[in-house]
């Protein structure tokens, strides 16, 4: 049985709490991603900022480009161990209504697993579909 470690993304770009909205948006553009983890100097995850956070909480809220991401990030971050099964990851995503899970080992961010990662795995494709359906049914959370 495959584990989160087998399919998680490990080439991560992260922001610091004082990084600006512009920095986060630029990083998302350069990396082609929709979310960036926010970490402290020790690599501990403090939050996540998504493209939606930038748009809705940031720019639509009239925040300037220089606003720290800490003001718009989600600080309730669920995470998973790299040793967890893919089924556990998809269940956690569905339960907590998230599309991406930071992977944490020994208190430090080591990767991210997304619904997209799960959907490419034959055995977890159905679980990813269920997770996406449950997430999509609760638009107020996004």
- Report pLDDT digits (tens) over 9-67: 999 999 999 999 999 999 999 999 999 999 999 999 999 999 999 999 999 989 999 99
pLDDT at 128 over 70: no
94: left (phi over 0), alpha (psi -120 to 50) or beta: alpha
What is the three-class DSSP state of 32?
coil
């Amino acid at each position: 049985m495959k584990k989160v470690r087998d399919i998680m993304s490990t080439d991560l770009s992260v922001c610091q709490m004082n990084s600006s909205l512009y920095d986060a948006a630029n990083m998302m553009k350069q990396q082609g991603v929709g979310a960036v983890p926010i970490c402290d100097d020790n690599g501990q995850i403090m939050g996540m900022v998504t493209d939606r956070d930038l748009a809705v909480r940031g720019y639509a809220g009239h925040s300037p480009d220089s606003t720290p991401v800490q003001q718009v990030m989600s600080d309730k971050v669920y995470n998973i161990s790299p040793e967890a099964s893919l089924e556990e990851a998809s269940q956690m995503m569905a339960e907590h209504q998230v599309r991406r899970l930071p992977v944490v080992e020994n208190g430090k961010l080591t990767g991210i697993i997304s619904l997209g990662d799960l959907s490419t795995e034959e055995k977890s494709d159905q679980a990813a579909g269920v997770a996406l359906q449950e997430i999509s049914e609760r638009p107020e959370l996004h």
